Chain A
Amino acid sequence: MNSRTSFFTVVGALALAGVLIAALRHMETGAPLLPGAETEVWLVEARVDFRAQGGPVNVSLSLPEADAGYSAFNEQSASAGYGYAVVEQGDDRRAEWTRRQASGAQTLYFSAQFVAQPPEAVTPGQPSAPPRAVSVFWNDAQSTAAQNLLDRARQTSAGPRSLVRELVKSLNVQPLDQNAALLLGQAEDRAGLLVRLLNEEGIPAREVMGLYLRDARRRQPLASLVDVYLDDRWVLHNPVTGVPGMPADFLLWHRAGASLLDVAGGRNSRVSFSMLRQSVPVQQLAYTTNSDSAFARIGLHSLPIEEQSMFRMLLLLPLGAAVVVFMRVLVGVRTAGTFMPILISLAFLQTSLLPGLVSFVSVVAIGLMMRAYLSRLNLLLVARIATLIVLVIFVITALSVIGYQLGYSTGMVITFFPMIIIAWTIERMSILWEEEGAREVLIQGSGSLFVAIVAYLLMHHPLLEHLSFNFPELNLILLAAILAMGQYTGYKLTELYRFRALLDD
């Protein structure tokens, strides 16, 4: 039993190390143990890609202004070999990168943290001089269509404010009237068209761009809104709904000034955004520049934001793995595929529980029906699985389209499920069905779903989510628990049921 003692010493040491490191980190950096005592901070990273042409390069990116709805701090740029400065011209703030010579693919990063401003701070200051509507160029057909559209909007509205609403409505109503259809067909986007129509009408308007803040999104484009000058103030409008005012969770990135991105000396330029919701304690926010601590330097927060969102997911995996071990070793739940439940629960994390559950069950059910037909076709196994993969993709596409038409965006959700795994699950389930009957399929299927749901509920818990990312060393405790469970030689819970016949006598 000596090896057993040393085994449990190691397990205990691991767990203790996890607790100690977490305690040290807490004392050293003040990282909070509870997710509650914090404010929400968005870490946003803009990534500019372009292809330099060998000569001098000058890149200028518009930055959020004071009235962006969020205030920025910790602005940083990562761009090897480039000179970098933030330039302010009146209302317009821009990040500028310069370099004497560059060629080939270039990537520049700008990142900043954003805290929501109180609503009263958001109202933009009055412009020093009232803006003027700019003149718009239309071709003949567009001009007639625009005039018709504006005439109609004018008749059904009482002033500029309602005119905006009526214009948006006329571009939305189904079926589109032919004027709207013509203009929409030739315009780059809806916001741009609205801006042109309003300027044509003599109402100053401009297109502004911003970012819908959603956790752990990568490579997002900016969304366009319409800024309309009404009653001596700029008022934002959603070009699709026509609703005035700033949308919720919206970071206004580019409002005044000329362009979002200028690149001189490069081609194919593109800007995309990644974002991550962080929880930062109120006091830490005040001393954002504190950290010389080793924890801060080697912590996950020092990684680029794209990797951070990935690690947030990855660090939840040990929790899922521990749940699977617990369920299989101590409880004795039978699942289809050992770690398949974790994959399902990861998908649930992206989709939220109910829609994910519904889509998963329906895809597998439809797949089983298709598989029943496939078994009559006398196909080789590999070809049959491949067929199933293609069919599963069709099913998911169909469900997404139908779901979208019915007004649920949940249809899209299933695309996160690993396709090949779904196909294999269906194949295994159908074999199970033929060989051991529907009952075994139900047992293993619901076993997998049960474990996945338990794993999801734990991984989704705000406290555990917070701890696993901010205190990654706590995963050592999970590791210790998994190791300890790996040595469990007692009975499983299900065996108490399985061996019940022994009680008869």
Chain B
Amino acid sequence: MTSPAFIRPSQLRQRGMLGMNRRNIDYIGRYNQRRLYPLVDDKLKTKLLAQEYGVPTPQLRFVVREQHEIHEYRARIQEMEQFVLKPAKGSGGKGILVVNGRDGENFVKSSGAVLTMADLERHMSNTLAGLYSLSGVPDVVIAEDLIAFDDGFAGYSYEGVPDIRIIVFRGYPVMAMLRLATHASDGKANLHQGAVGVGLGMDTGRCLFAVQDGQRCDSHPDTGKPLNTLQIDNWQELLVLASRCYEMTGLGYMGTDLVLDARQGPQLLELNARPGLAIQVANDRGLLPRLRKIEAMRERRQVSAQDRVAFAMEAFA
């Protein structure tokens, strides 16, 4: 099972793999207008926009905008059981603090680590100062409800919420993967931090292939649960939700991060105007053929999200 250290460019091309340079020039550069970036780079804007368009997102509790406001929210924080603090302009999952439960006055992270109120306040202070934001600009803290993750995922994720990344190209969902947190990824669902990426079939939402750290894996490394039986419920609903983000933002090439909440169903977590390429490894196939198929479509009339999803489920099965 040891794979060779390198793959030849011709082999990559044959598999239709999208490289970083081509993604930047031919897709992000061509289909994503710069002026639209703030809509997705600022999670608060995305959230408000989503509410406007009726796209479900986790309930917003409050927003801290200034250092001096931190103390004013102390009482609100004290009465919350489970919540998430995140920077509005964070990237790559940086600065997201998940509180899973309480231990008296203290707060318990998903990893089991215990934080004090002072720790939380320092985290918020750092966030406001721009520690986690792109290029260090001042930021705001968003406090929102924690996702109660679907029982269907029991045993598939370790210490964290599994999220579903769907690449949406010109409104069509083209590729999807489920990201499972592992012990190595510290409860975060980032592939380059050691999370497991599970490629999902576009027609059914069933597992196609799975990788961890760029290597194939067949079961969850922490729980040992086999991944090949995994299937996402409400698959079509999820795809429609992702597809509707196109009307919402106008971005032609984006990554949508969704979660399945046990009570509320599919929720939009965040959008990404520069989605990563690892999804291709998780799916064991390249994005290029699918992107080209959509680029080649001549249709000019407005196509509804439902129709786009129906097309994608058939074309990319």
Contact = CB atoms under 8 A, between A and B. Distances in A.
Contacts of A499: 7, 12, 17, 214, 280-281
Contacts, number: 92
B292 interface: no
B155 to A, nearest CB: 24
A438 to B, nearest CB: 13
Nearest to A487: B25
A501 B213 CA distance: 10
A130 B217 CA distance: 95
B9 interface: yes
A292 interface: no
A490 B22 contact: yes
Contacts of B17: 491, 495, 499, 502
Interface string B1-28: 1011111110111010101111001100
A82 to B, nearest CB: 52
Contact of A381 (B6, B21, B118, B126): B126
Contacts of A497: 5-7
A504 interface: yes
Interface string B293-314: 0000000000000000000000
B7 A381 contact: no
A496 interface: yes
B129 A382 contact: yes
* Interface magnitude class on chain A: 20 to 34
Interface in A481-505: 487-492, 495-505
A489 B129 contact: no
Contact of A489 (B7, B19, B126, B216): B19
A505 to B, nearest CB: 7
Given A378-B118, A380-B67, A500 B6 contact: yes
B9 A501 contact: no
Contacts of A489: 19, 21-22, 25-26
B3 A503 contact: yes
A332 interface: yes
Nearest to B20: A492
A417 B298 CA distance: 56
Contacts of A504: 1, 3, 216
A501 B2 CA distance: 9
A496 to B, nearest CB: 5
B21 A431 contact: no
A378 B4 contact: no
Contacts of B21: 329, 488-492
Nearest to B22: A489
B193 interface: yes
A435 interface: yes
Given A378-B118, A380-B125, A436-B193, A495 B19 contact: yes
A332 B22 CA distance: 13
A505 B284 CA distance: 9
B206 to A, nearest CB: 18
* Best-buried of A436, A501, A502, A504 by chain B (most CB within 10 Å): A502
* Best-buried of A329, A380, A499 by chain B (most CB within 10 Å): A499
Nearest to B213: A501
A381 B12 contact: no
B285 to A, nearest CB: 8
Interface in B203-241: 211, 214-216
B216 A501 contact: yes
B4 A500 contact: yes
Contacts of A332: 20
B64 interface: no
Interface string A246-269: 000000000000000000000000
6 nearest A-B pairs in the assembled complex, by CB-CB distance: A381-B129, A489-B22, A491-B19, A496-B6, A378-B122, A500-B7
23 contacts: A329-B21, A382-B129, A488-B21, A489-B21, A489-B22, A489-B26, A490-B21, A491-B12, A492-B20, A495-B277, A496-B8, A497-B7, A498-B277, A498-B281, A499-B17, A500-B4, A500-B6, A500-B7, A501-B281, A502-B11, A502-B12, A504-B3, A505-B284
Interface of A: 329, 332, 378, 380-382, 431, 435-437, 487-492, 495-505
Given A431-B131, A436-B193, 20 more contacts: A380-B67, A487-B25, A489-B21, A489-B25, A490-B9, A490-B19, A490-B21, A491-B12, A495-B17, A495-B20, A496-B8, A496-B12, A498-B277, A499-B7, A499-B281, A500-B3, A500-B4, A501-B216, A501-B284, A502-B7
